[in-house]
């Protein structure tokens, strides 16, 4: 079975404090829900989303073993982009969202910083 990225819907909930920026859930083909994806701050550039974030799959236990594995690395990269895109959308910054959606190489120096008020 092959999964098309358009068959995957993403919901994001903004995190309450750094380094956790957000949590995400995937809804695949309206049949399967996977919760527990995390968007975290990172000092390193994620080449798939071209931002300094770490998007990781759900994990458990003291050794943080993965609960989900995507055999197709291209699909995993597309899922990460979709999660990050929805994260930007949830932040409510329309300019950043549109720039990311157009796949422009833009610098968002303070995109990941939330208001402290």
Query: What does the pLDDT look like over 32-48, one tens digit per residue?
Result: 999 999 999 999 999 99
Q: With bands split at pLDDT 50, 70 and 90, how would you rate the model's confidence at 72?
A: very high
Q: Does residue 111 form part of some domain?
A: no
Angle at alpha carbon of residue 63, lines to 55 and 33, rounded to 5°: 45
What domain count does the chain have?
1
- CA–CA distance, 40 with 22 (Å, rounded to integer): 7
Separation CA 98–CA 42 (nearest Å): 23
| pLDDT tens by residue, 4-33 | 899 999 999 998 888 999 999 999 998 999
Instruction: Identify whether 41 is part of a domain.
Output: yes
Q: For residue 95, what is the domain's CATH number?
A: 3.30.1120
Q: What pLDDT does 103 receive? A: 55
Token output for 49: 């989303």
The whole-model pTM stands at 0.77
Q: Is residue 42 part of a domain?
A: yes
């Amino acid at each position: 079975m092959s999964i098309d990225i358009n068959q995957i819907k993403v919901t994001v909930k903004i995190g309450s404090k750094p380094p956790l920026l957000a949590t995400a859930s995937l809804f695949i083909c309206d049949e399967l829900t996977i919760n527990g994806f995390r968007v975290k701050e990172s000092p390193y550039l994620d080449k798939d989303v071209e931002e300094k974030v770490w998007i990781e799959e759900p994990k458990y236990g003291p050794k943080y073993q993965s609960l989900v594995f995507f055999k197709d690395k291209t699909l995993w990269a597309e899922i990460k982009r979709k999660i990050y895109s929805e994260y930007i959308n949830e932040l409510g910054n329309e300019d950043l969202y549109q720039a990311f959606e157009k796949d422009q190489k833009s610098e968002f120096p303070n995109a990941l910083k939330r208001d402290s008020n």
